[in-house]
């Protein structure tokens, strides 16, 4: 009887370990910011690709090792409107996504090189977010897709 229990326990462990081989593990980093609108905004980043979230004076950034992936700022509704007007008014800017609360763009002739940007309102808040990246569009979109923003 003891031998059957021991064998069953060993089989269970082997099945569990074997079932976990193809599983992927995600890790996350979150920061909560008290922003100028009075909102508390929680930013969460999936760090599985090696990215990290950092707070800087009046802004935040996403880095992968020493490489800057994004620089971002929180905005009041007036700042958001001015930023949107500036983006739309810049010749050569290609609007990629144009929704009611989300605008993304690509600007090949950016001052520091080709720029991918995202401008959006955090759901349920008075806070806008403007993020820009000098990475190629696909890499920037991938990194942006691993982020969430929510009002607390």
User: What is the model's pLDDT at position 26?
Assistant: 82
pLDDT, one tens digit per residue, over 43-94 is 999 999 999 999 988 799 999 999 999 999 999 999 999 999 999 999 999 9
Q: Is the pLDDT of residue 149 over 90?
A: yes
89-96: long-range contacts at Cβ-Cβ below 8 A with a sequence spacing of 24 or more?
96/137
pLDDT, mean over the chain: 88
Buried/exposed 108-144: b ≥16 CB within 10 Å, e otherwise: eebeeeebbbbbbbbeebbbbbbbbbbbebeebbebb
pTM greater than 0.75 (yes/no): yes
Token duo for residue 20: 């976990």
- Listed in sequence order, the DSSP H helices in 1-151 are 2-20, 77-89, 137-144
E runs forming strands in 28-111: 28-34, 40-46, 51-56, 59-64, 67-75, 93-98, 102-107
Mean pLDDT of 9-20: 50
Cβ 45 vs Cβ 147: under 8 Å: yes
Mean pLDDT of 19-42: 84
Q: What does the alpha-carbon distance between residue 118 and residue 87 come to, in Å, rounded to a whole number? A: 10
Q: Binning pLDDT at 50, 70 and 90, where does residue 15 land?
A: very low
pLDDT of residue 68: 93
């Amino acid at each position: 009887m003891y031998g059957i229990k021991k064998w069953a326990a060993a089989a269970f462990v082997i099945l569990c370990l074997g079932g976990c081989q193809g599983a992927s593990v995600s890790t996350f980093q979150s920061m909560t910011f008290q922003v100028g609108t009075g909102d508390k905004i929680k930013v969460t980043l999936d760090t599985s690709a090696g990215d990290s979230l950092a707070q800087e004076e009046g802004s935040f950034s996403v880095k992968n090792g020493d490489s800057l992936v994004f620089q971002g700022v929180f905005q009041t509704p007036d700042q958001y409107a001015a930023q949107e007007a500036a983006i739309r008014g810049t010749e050569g800017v290609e609007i990629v996504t144009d929704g009611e609360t989300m605008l993304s763009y690509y600007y090949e002739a950016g001052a520091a090189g080709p720029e991918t940007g995202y401008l959006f309102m955090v759901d349920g808040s008075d806070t806008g977010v403007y993020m820009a990246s000098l990475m190629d569009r696909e890499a920037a979109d991938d990194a942006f897709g691993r982020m969430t923003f929510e009002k607390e």
